[in-house]
Amino acid sequence: MRHLLIIGASGGIGLEAVRLALRAGHRVRAVARGADRIGIDHPLLEARSLDATDATALPAALDGVDAVIQALGVAPSLQRMVTPIDLFSRATSVLVPAMEHAGVRRLVAVTGFGAGDSRQAMSLPERAAHRLVLGTAYADKDRQEEIIRSSDLDWLIVRPTILTRGCGGGRYQVLVSPDSWRNGLIARRDVGDFLVREAAEPRHARMTPVLTY
C-alpha cells in the first residue's frame, strides 16, 4: 500500500486516478478546489479542498505521502482559447519546491501530447488546429514541463493523446521514444491507470511518454 496525493482530483483524469488508486488498495489524499465534488466515500480516502497554487497549504497536504500525481485541468471554453492561462505553471512552481522540502521524491504529472518537444511529432495540420484550440493552455503546459524537468525530483511527465470517455481496457501503449510518438485516442481511465501504477511502483523515471491506443 502506498499513500498517494492526487492534485486535481475532482474530475477527469484526476478523479479516475482516485478511483483506481482506491481499488488497488492505496491510501489517497485527494485535493481539489471543490473536493466535495469527488463524491466518493471510502475508508482509505481523505478529501481536502485546496487551491493547488497556495504555497501555505501544500506542506500539510504533502505530509506523510509517498508520491504525488498532478492531474490539473481547465474546462474548455471560447474565452480560454484566447485568454492566457497560468494555472499549470503556477501550481507546479509551488509544488516542486514543496515536495523537495518535504522529501517527497516521486512526481507523476499530466500534460498532454503537443506539449514540449512532442509538438514536433504532430503533422502541420494537427499543429495548426492544436495551436488554435489549445494554444494558450499548452503554452503554460510547456512552462509546467520546464519547471518539472529542471527539478531534482524523481519525475515522470505523462502526455496523453486525445481523451475519451469510457472504461478503457488497459491495452494502451506507452510511447517512450520520440520517434514513436503519434497522435491517437486514450480513455481517461487508462491514463489514470498508468498514473497510479507509476506513482505506486515507478518503472519510468525522467521520461515524457505519450499514451495512446
Quote the mean pLDDT of the chain: 94
| Amino acid residing at 114 | G
Q: What is the pLDDT of residues 6-23, one digit of tens each?
A: 999 999 999 999 999 999
Say if residue 125's pLDDT is above 90. Answer: no
Read off the pLDDT of residues 34-86 as tens digits, 9 standing for 90 and up: 999 999 999 999 999 999 999 999 999 999 999 999 999 877 655 555 678 89
Q: Assign residue 130 the CATH number of its domain.
A: 3.40.50.720
pLDDT surpassing 90 at residue 153? yes
Distance CA 134, CA 116 (A): 13
Is pLDDT at 116 greater than 60 in this prediction?
yes
Average pLDDT over residues 177-204: 97
Distances (CA, A) of 178 to 119, 128, 155, 209, 210: 10, 20, 18, 8, 9
Whether the per-residue pLDDT at 195 is higher than 90: the answer is yes
Whether the model clears a pTM of 0.75, i.e. scores above it, the answer is yes
Domain range for 52: 3-212
Residues 6+ positions from 17 with CB-CB distance below 8 Å:
6, 9, 69, 71, 192, 195, 196
Q: What is the DSSP letter of 34?
A: T
Domain count, the chain: 1
